[in-house]
């Protein structure tokens, strides 16, 4: 593989000295970019993008052509894993992802099986290899998966949910069934992320989007414990260097110490957590990623710069910070404000690393 020309992101995750704070954005390849919308139209659908290594490579690189980002992230979707289990993923216009066969009863739960990555998810692994080749060492490539609990939310609810009625009913009335789903998901995610690493992903992130909807005790039992098992099962060295792992629980700020203890290299923060206080709480155990409010990008370039300055000042001196949004970038953001974000991080962060 080609040597990295810019490894600032990887060094920051490992809390090694850097010249500036690196930055990437969750959903940085997405609908706010007109070039993405044009490629998606050619692909015919969102899944048409995801299942084509050529299209996935094209859209992964699009934000890097616009902005001097410090990492690329594989273009895919967290629901490729349950789709590979045969649940029938589809996207309803204006409604988001849906499953034709939700997992809600004992028979459906016990029918679940870990998909064979090469057979069922080979298009994702091919995309990782294709993107690495196209990047040619420019910046590192991030692989990712949804957390076992977040995947289970979609599998049991049959799509997105406002109240998580079905999965919460299962959690409280038949926790044995939910644990069975989480066991399968954990084995699947571990194999999936390891395959991404072997194909060329240089860091991986676990997206625990819905873990924050749980009570503290349920979070530890049904989300965190399974992410800890994934972290323990991941390949942490490849191509002669460490492969850092980032864990991001949206709404998980109250459990930072617990998350920092599971063995990951970095913890992602949403915008509701003060990053300076978070740094005090976790000490030097992990790097921190985040955590600008995505809605700040609806402001002006000047206001974006002010918010970037505030986050950088809150984190303070030294390495161990990867700048990001507290969640994904909105499709309604002006790309000029995304450009202002990246420029501000790069220019304003240098004094903190002097």
Active site residues: 27, 31, 40, 77, 154
Neighbours of 150 (CB within 10 A): 24
36 is in an annotated binding site: no
- The Cα–Cα gap between 280 and 345 comes to 22
Contacts of 20 (CB under 8 A, 6+ apart): 8, 345, 346, 349, 350, 353
Question: Do the annotations mark residue 281 as ligand-binding?
Answer: no
- 299 in a labelled binding site: no
27 assigned to a ligand binding site: yes
Torsional class of 86: left (φ above 0), alpha (ψ -120 to 50), beta (otherwise):
left
Nearest to 323 by CA among 310, 308, 339, 337: 308
Determine contact, residues 181/156, Cβ cutoff 8 Å: yes
Is the distance from CB of 265 to CB of 246 less than 8 angstroms? Answer: yes
Is 29 within any annotated ligand binding site? Answer: yes
Binding residue per annotation — 31? yes
C-alpha distances (whole Å) from 189 to each of 81, 145, 284, 348 are 8, 7, 27, 37
Query: Alpha-carbon distance 28 to 102, whole Å?
Result: 30
**209 is annotated as contributing to ligand binding:** yes
What is the distance, to the nearest Å, from the Cα of residue 60 to the centroid of all Cα atoms in its chain?
Answer: 14
d(CA 37, CA 43): 10
3-state SS string for 132-181: HHHHCCCCCEEEEEECHHHHHHHHHHCECCCCCHHHHHHHHHCHHHHHHH
**Residue 280 annotated as binding?**
no
| Binding-site residues from annotation for substrate | 27-31, 77, 154, 209, 327
| Binding-site residues from annotation | 27-31, 77, 154, 209, 327
């Amino acid at each position: 593989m080609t040597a990295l020309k810019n490894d600032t992101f990887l060094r920051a995750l490992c809390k090694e000295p850097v010249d500036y704070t690196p930055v990437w954005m969750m959903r940085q390849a997405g609908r706010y970019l007109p070039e993405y919308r044009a490629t998606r139209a050619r692909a015919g659908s969102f899944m048409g993008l995801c299942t084509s290594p050529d299209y996935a490579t094209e859209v992964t690189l699009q934000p890097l052509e616009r902005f001097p980002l410090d990492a690329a992230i594989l273009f895919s979707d967290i629901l490729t894993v349950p789709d590979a289990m045969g649940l029938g993923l589809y996207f309803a216009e204006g409604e988001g992802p849906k499953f034709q066969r939700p997992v809600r009863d004992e028979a459906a739960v016990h029918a679940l099986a870990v998909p064979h990555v090469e057979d069922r998810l080979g298009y994702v692994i091919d995309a990782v290899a294709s993107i690495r080749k196209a990047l040619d060492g420019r910046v590192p490539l991030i692989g990712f998966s949804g957390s076992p609990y977040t995947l289970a939310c979609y599998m049991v609810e049959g799509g997105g949910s406002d109240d998580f009625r079905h999965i919460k009913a299962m959690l409280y009335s038949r926790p044995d069934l939910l644990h069975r789903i989480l066991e399968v998901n954990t084995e699947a995610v571990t194999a999936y992320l390891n395959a991404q690493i072997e194909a060329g992903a240089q860091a991986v992130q676990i997206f625990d989007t819905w873990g924050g909807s749980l009570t503290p005790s349920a979070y530890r039992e049904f989300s965190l414990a399974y992410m800890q098992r994934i972290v323990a099962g991941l390949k942490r060295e490849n191509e002669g260097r460490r492969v850092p792992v980032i864990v991001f629980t949206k709404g998980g700020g109250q459990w930072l110490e617990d998350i920092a203890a599971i063995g990951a290299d970095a913890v992602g923060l949403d915008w509701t957590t003060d990053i300076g206080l978070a740094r005090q709480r976790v000490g030097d155990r992990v790097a921190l990623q985040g955590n600008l409010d995505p809605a700040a990008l609806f402001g002006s370039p000047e206001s974006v710069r002010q918010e970037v300055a505030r986050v950088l000042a809150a984190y303070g001196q030294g390495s161990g910070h990867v700048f990001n949004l507290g969640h994904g970038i909105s499709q309604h953001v002006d790309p000029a404000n995304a450009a202002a974000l990246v420029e501000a991080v790069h220019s304003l962060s240098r004094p903190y690393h002097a």
